[in-house]
A and B are shown apart, each in its own frame.
Chain A
Amino acid sequence: MFDKTLAELANGLKTGEFSSVELTQAYLKRIKAEDKKYNSFITVTEEQALQQAQAADQQIAAGSAGLFTGLPIAHKDIFCTKGVRTSCASKMLDNFISPYDATVVDKFNQAGAVTLGKTNMDEFAMGSSNESSFYGPSRNPWDTDRVPGGSSGGSAAAVSAQLAPAATGTDTGGSIRQPAALCGITGLKPTYGRVSRFGMIAFASSLDQGGPMTKTAEDAAMMLNVMAGFDKQDSTSVDREVPDYTAELDRPLNGLRIGLPKEFFVDDMDSAIAAQTQAAIKEFEKLGATVKEVSLPNTALSIPAYYIIAPAEASSNLSRFDGVRYGYRCENPVDLEDLYKRSRGEGFGTEVKRRIMVGAYALSEGFYDAYYNKAQQIRRLIRDDFAQVLNDVDVIMGPTTPHPAFQLGEKTSDPVAMYMEDIFTISLNLAGLPGMSVPCGTVNGLPTGLQIIGDYFAEQKLLNVAHQFQLATDWHTQSPQGI
């Protein structure tokens, strides 16, 4: 049962092969038995899950069920869930019981989904390894001495270890695609503005975007059908029709034009990953696609620009955590300044404090033009590079990451080395474009991802391309040893 996709589980519920309560109980039992190894959940919402499953079974019996009714999923602990702790993996919010639901959570509830629990992540989504979590790192099911990636590492580990059939994630610089690649699952970051950010705890508001993390592209399409759409509560939500993301999955890829950016094949990457990307491209050629080399000349600048824009926005967003209205408050503050400083100093972890300080510095008097304004100018150059290439090709492909999963602790002492792991994913967030990662091989027993990038609102195209690849290959069906 645990190797079934959402689409297969939906069919099982429909035909009465099992009930939602049975399915939910099976997953809850598995989480309880297995998650000690992976630490992929921060909170398991057993009671609520069973209530939701019972309600779903009643709907199924009454014939009023939708396509998602009764399907269990997990939410990254960055999405506010009413009445449930929403920690963002921070001591700051360890005591925060959200008084409301995020729009994404509300949409899944309305669709009849069952929430199994809240998944582990890097604190406030700041990281590429899940090691900055207040609740300890999540571990990669393919090798528990290695990181699952981040920041949506718990969601990726949970899906990979089959503790949930699918999960939500968020992506500010690669936080859906990179852990999806490192854990051998499918992840989609939609176009900026496609999925509501309301109730999704803000890191960098002009870059953050929620999306699905699943076993297959077909499941990602099912999830996106629930998640996408205009929300007046999110001021940057895009008011644009939501297509049926499953509708184009079966379209043949004859004549698909693929661009391979030469900048995505760098000297210090794992050569086996470069070779696997080329092998994946060969599969697409067999399916009728044409391939040409393209250039995104400003790719290397995406990391410097990101590490100004994201910390600047974070320093502003995280100023709301002041020990006054919610979250952690220090003991016995002597005055208001002491309350602010110690609540924040004690409540935030090291990486979060580092980024807040970089942001505060970049935005401080006299530095704005040299840092923030410069980064926003470079952001436009990066977007223009993509726009030019996407005039000539339908999709851009390359590796999702330069290396497979690294060892726990390997990069924690050197933040800059950690940041470099996001070299292929960050530029999409700066441009606001959608991107996917799908499994495309293994290196020394560790999975690797193929990144597929499309034009604004081309999610249907990306899902079609990914689905056709998954019909032709079986990388996405491979599981870690013992699972």
Chain B
Amino acid sequence: MSLDRTDVDKIAHLARLQIEEQDTPEYAQNLSNILDLVDQMQAIDTTDVSPMAHPLDAVQRLRSDLITEENQRENLQSVAPAVENGLFLVPKVIE
């Protein structure tokens, strides 16, 4: 599997990562090497093998629909880059 610059740009956009243009070739090379490594999997026949999501095949625990958490808004927002009136501030998204 060989990725080119366009592939790297597309993946970086999907992952919302800014990649500097001069770094793109190295990412393309390294990502291609990693995909070559993982392609070893394709040689194995896994027909009828069910995918394993959890080592102990556990399923999601359920609980009663009750409020168990205290409101910690101020505590948790204390580490936010920009807040106002309990809201997280971001650049304008609606004109």
Closest CB in chain B relative to A316 CB, distance in Å: 10
Chain B window 12-49, contacts with chain A (Cβ cutoff 8 Å), 1 for yes, 0 for no: 10111111100100010011011101111110101001
A236 lies within 8 A of B58 (CB): yes
Nearest opposing residue in chain B for A328, CB measure: B81
Q: Does A377 contact B (CB under 8 A)?
A: yes
B15 lies within 8 A of A380 (CB): no
A325 vs B86: C-alpha distance when bound (angstroms)? 11
- Interface residues of chain B: helix, strand, loop or mixed (majority): loop
B52 lies within 8 A of A360 (CB): no
Chain B window 63-92, contacts with chain A (Cβ cutoff 8 Å), 1 for yes, 0 for no: 100000000100111111110000010111
B79 lies within 8 A of A96 (CB): yes
Please judge, given known A-B contacts A324-B80, A353-B17, whether A336 and B93 are in contact too, CB under 8 Å: yes
A304 lies within 8 A of B91 (CB): no
- A-B pairs with beta carbons under 8 A, tally: 170
Please judge, given known A-B contacts A334-B91, A336-B93, A353-B17, whether A360 and B11 are in contact too, CB under 8 Å: yes
Give the size of the chain B interface in residues (CB under 8 angstroms).
51
In the complex, what residues of B have CB within 8 A of residue A235's CB? 60-61
**Interface residues of A, Cβ cutoff 8 Å to B:** 95-100, 192-193, 206, 232, 235-236, 238, 298, 300-301, 303-305, 307-308, 315, 319, 322-327, 329, 333-342, 344-346, 348, 350, 353-354, 356-362, 364, 370-371, 373-381, 383, 414-416, 419, 430-433, 456
In the complex, what residues of A have CB within 8 A of residue B60's CB? 235
- Interface residues of chain A: helix, strand, loop or mixed (majority): helix
A346 lies within 8 A of B79 (CB): no
Please pick, from A98, A304, A341, the residue contacting B17 in the complex, using a CB distance under 8 A.
A341
Please judge, given known A-B contacts A354-B31, A377-B46, whether A345 and B79 are in contact too, CB under 8 Å: no
Closest CB in chain A relative to B32 CB, distance in Å: 10
A97 vs B44: C-alpha distance when bound (angstroms)? 46
Please judge, given known A-B contacts A329-B81, A339-B91, whether A354 and B19 are in contact too, CB under 8 Å: no
Please pick, from B35, B44, B58, B63, the residue contacting A193 in the complex, using a CB distance under 8 A.
B58
Closest CB in chain A relative to B29 CB, distance in Å: 10
B56 lies within 8 A of A432 (CB): yes
In the complex, what residues of A have CB within 8 A of residue B49's CB? 377-378, 380-381
